[in-house]
């Protein structure tokens, strides 16, 4: 099962909530009032996604306009929706407001899924010729490869 960073953060918070840890336990776990340690990792993940998006577009240049459009749309939709989701979740992240954070996570995930669905349906309906496998492949590559590269080069788990 593949997990992106947002899903990993949700699972961690659910574990904390399921154990019903008190504020004293949170302090014992050394979770500060304003949790900002994940923000550099998220920024790095988004940078990797942007780099992979650009690399895919450059790699596909020789294969024609239809392939270029298909790959570009898939990669940009993935990057854009992940960026919006990360901004929504971590705009004012405080570890002590777990319920608010969970609500923002689920709202961001719902917004992300809605945006992806609307953008891809619009793409499939309006753009011809289109290579659906190239579009979805680019989406998958931009979603998964940066998460692997970030964890590989930073030692993050």
Distance CA 104, CA 109 (A): 8
- Full-model pTM: 0.69
Is the Cβ–Cβ distance between 92 and 103 less than 8 Å? no
pLDDT tens, position by position, 60-102: 999 999 999 999 999 999 999 999 988 888 776 666 677 777 8
CB 78 within 8 A of CB 49: yes
| Count of H-run helices and E-run strands, the chain | 6, 0
How does pLDDT run across 10-34, given as a tens digit for each residue? 555 555 444 433 333 333 333 334 4
Structure tokens at 17: 């909530």
- In the chain, what's the furthest Cα-to-Cα distance? 60
């Amino acid at each position: 099962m593949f997990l992106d960073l947002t899903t990993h953060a949700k699972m961690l918070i659910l574990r904390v909530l399921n154990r019903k840890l008190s504020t004293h336990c949170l302090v014992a776990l050394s979770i500060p009032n304003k949790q900002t340690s994940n923000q550099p990792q998220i920024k790095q993940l988004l940078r990797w996604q942007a780099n992979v998006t650009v690399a895919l577009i450059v790699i596909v240049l020789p294969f024609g306009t239809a392939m270029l459009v298909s790959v570009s749309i898939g990669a940009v939709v993935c990057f854009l929706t992940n960026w919006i989701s990360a901004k929504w979740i971590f705009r004012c992240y405080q570890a002590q407001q777990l319920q608010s954070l969970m609500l923002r996570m689920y709202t961001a995930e719902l917004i992300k899924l809605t945006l992806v669905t609307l953008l891809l349906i619009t793409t499939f309906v309006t753009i011809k010729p289109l290579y659906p496998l190239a579009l979805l492949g680019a989406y998958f590559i931009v979603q998964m490869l940066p998460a692997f590269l970030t964890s590989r080069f930073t030692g993050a788990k």
